[in-house]
Amino acid sequence: MTRLVFERMCRVLAVGCLLALLALTVRDSQRGPRSARRALVALSSTVGADSSARDLQALRKAVLASASHSGAPDTVLLPLRAVPPAPVRAALHAMRTAGVPVLWGDSTDARGLALSVSRAPVPGAPIDVRVSGARGAAVQLRDAGGVLDSTSTPGQVHAWRLQSASPPLMVQVAGGRATAALADSVVARRLLVVAEPGWESKFVVAALEEAGWQVDGRFRVSPTGAVTVGAPLKLDTARYAAVLVLDSTTVNAAALGTFVSQGGGLVLGGDALRIPALSALRPARATSLRGGIAGALLTDTPRRGLEAWEVEPAANVVVLEEDRGDHAHAEPALLARRVGAGRVVAMPYRETWRWRMEGSDAGVAEHREWWHTAVTAAVNGQRTASPATALLTDALPGEAAPYADLVARSGAPLPGWTSGEAANAMRGASGTESGRSLPWRPLLLLSALAALLAEWTSRRLRGLR
């Protein structure tokens, strides 16, 4: 190859680099002041606190490197194989708030992961655990003591009822982990029983105390004398979870109405359904009295042996339980209705103490469980208002729903993202720390200068200028 051909090739190379540099400049001017680049950041593929520090450092390096050349950060692209821990999600949220664009591809198989842990505010209530996750995914339930259960079913919702657990509860599903605290098992509020002294009030109080409730009551035995149970105080939702009215004794209907409207529970049993002052609260109106069936207290359906009122349910009433008697229709055994923020439960049976004293060997336990169920229905129906001092961050799903929390903080994932795209992205990032493309402008400019310098040197060696 002669010097003349070499010089022409250098000139063509220089002109080509300059033309390519001009084309890149024109393209960038049409797109905006700077080209849109994606800084690829590969986070840990495992979920845990130990990976948080490494992931946070990787995010910091990527943002600093992307902003160093132009003063503005590039779009951060995250091919996620696992839902990041809470500190990393908080960092992504802070980046978006600060104006750093964040995109992420979902390869976690943890869409819809959420953990719900609840416990009714009643004595001996089990822990109700519900987990949603990908259909058919393996689910592992753990507490502070280790693995409690693992399962894989075709459904998307898994449920457990635990009698005890060591907080916190955790669930691992595919590439995500959800954590929730346990509700306190101690029942702080008490029950207030309003009744006339007699067998019914005596054994209902005994049954509730056996079930774990703390009971207060004042039973008037004369115009000037009363028998007290516990330490009865002023009716207040902060002290009492529910009130039981067991017969047609005189009641303060206005105070009960205020108590229920503010979130308290009310149980009306037997003759209490016929108190005129409580007509606005009761779920059903008592019409006629039906007698008990002789000997039924010793059968598998002992409530058929109790006297009970035929009832006409009011509007917007939920029948919680029915009994089949000798009538052609089902007989409501437990009814409930919402009143304000509280709930009123009605039970039409009279003299339920006979079930306990005259029933079968299981009568004591069944009577106790029946009244515990009635009170639980009234207490569980209470609405709890959120505190006015709740923080803004409380509105985010948090650790109980990490996937939803990730979406709330970082936006929705890229549509149509597949595991194949994630693998390609990771292979493309293997040569560089942050996955940035090569700096084409400096390379083109240096190539053009080198070609022109080579041509000039060759011409000088030939004696030309």
Kindly state the average pLDDT of the residues 36-42.
66
pLDDT score recorded for residue 73? 60
C-alpha dihedral (58, 62, 63, 67), degrees to nearest 10: 160
Lowest mean pLDDT among 177-191, 267-281, 440-454: 177-191
Q: What is the 3-state secondary structure (H, E, C) of the chain?
A: CCHHHHHHHHHHHHHHHHHHHHHHHHHHHHHCCCCCCEEECCCCCCCCHHHHHHHHHHHHHHHHHHHHCCCCCCEEEEEECCCCCHHHHHHHHHHHHCCCCEEEEECCCCCCCEEEEECCCCCCCCEEEEEECCCCCCEEEEECCEEEEEECCCCCEEEEEECCCCCCEEEEECCEEEEECCCCCCCCCEEEEECCCCHHHHHHHHHHHHCCCCEEEEEECCCCCEEEECCCCCCCCCCEEEEEECCCCCCCHHHHHHHHHCCCEEEEEHHHHHCHHHCCCCCEEEEEEECCCCCHHHCCCHHHHCCEEEEEECCCEEEEEEEECCCCCEEEEEEEEEECCEEEEEECECCCHHHHHHCCCCHHHHHHHHHHHHHHHHHHCCCCCCCCCCCHHHHCCHHHCHHHHHHHHHCCCCCCCCHHHHHHHHHHCCCCCCCCCCCHHHHHHHHHHHHHHHHHHHHHHCCCC
Q: Using 50, 70 and 90 to split pLDDT, how confident is the model at 387?
A: very low
CA distance 465 to 455: 11
**Residues 333, 339, 342: CA angle, nearest 5 degrees:** 85
pLDDT score recorded for residue 204? 93
Kindly state the average pLDDT of the residues 342-357.
93
Mean pLDDT of the chain: 80
Q: Is the pLDDT assigned to residue 259 strictly greater than 90?
A: yes
C-alpha dihedral (436, 440, 446, 448), degrees to nearest 10: 170
pLDDT score recorded for residue 428? 45
pLDDT score recorded for residue 212? 87
pLDDT score recorded for residue 386? 39
Q: Could you tell me the domains of the chain? A: 3-109+402-455 (no CATH), 114-185 (2.60.40), 190-380 (3.40.50.880)
Distances (CA, A) of 295 to 90, 361, 363: 67, 14, 13
- Each residue's pLDDT tens digit, 228-255: 888 888 888 889 989 999 987 778 899 9
Kindly state the average pLDDT of the residues 331-340.
91
Closest CA to 112 of 133, 129, 136: 133
Q: Is the pLDDT assigned to residue 384 strictly greater than 70?
A: no
pLDDT score recorded for residue 349? 93
Q: Using 50, 70 and 90 to split pLDDT, how confident is the model at 85?
A: confident
For CA atoms 93, 94, 98, 102, the dihedral sign is negative
Q: Using 50, 70 and 90 to split pLDDT, how confident is the model at 381?
A: low
Q: Using 50, 70 and 90 to split pLDDT, how confident is the model at 183?
A: low
Give 443's contacts (C-beta < 8 A, 6+ positions apart). none
pLDDT score recorded for residue 355? 93
Q: Using 50, 70 and 90 to split pLDDT, how confident is the model at 385?
A: very low
pLDDT score recorded for residue 174? 73
**Main-chain phi, psi angles of 193, to 5 degrees:** -105, 125
pLDDT score recorded for residue 35? 47
- Chain centroid to Cα 229, Å, comes to 40
- Each residue's pLDDT tens digit, 432-457: 344 444 567 788 888 888 888 888 88
Q: Is the pLDDT assigned to residue 70 strictly greater than 70?
A: no
pLDDT score recorded for residue 205? 92
Q: Note if the pTM is more than 0.85.
A: no
Q: Is the pLDDT assigned to residue 420 strictly greater than 80?
A: no
Q: Is the pLDDT assigned to residue 152 strictly greater than 70?
A: yes
> Do the beta carbons of residue 85 and residue 391 sit within 8 Å?
no
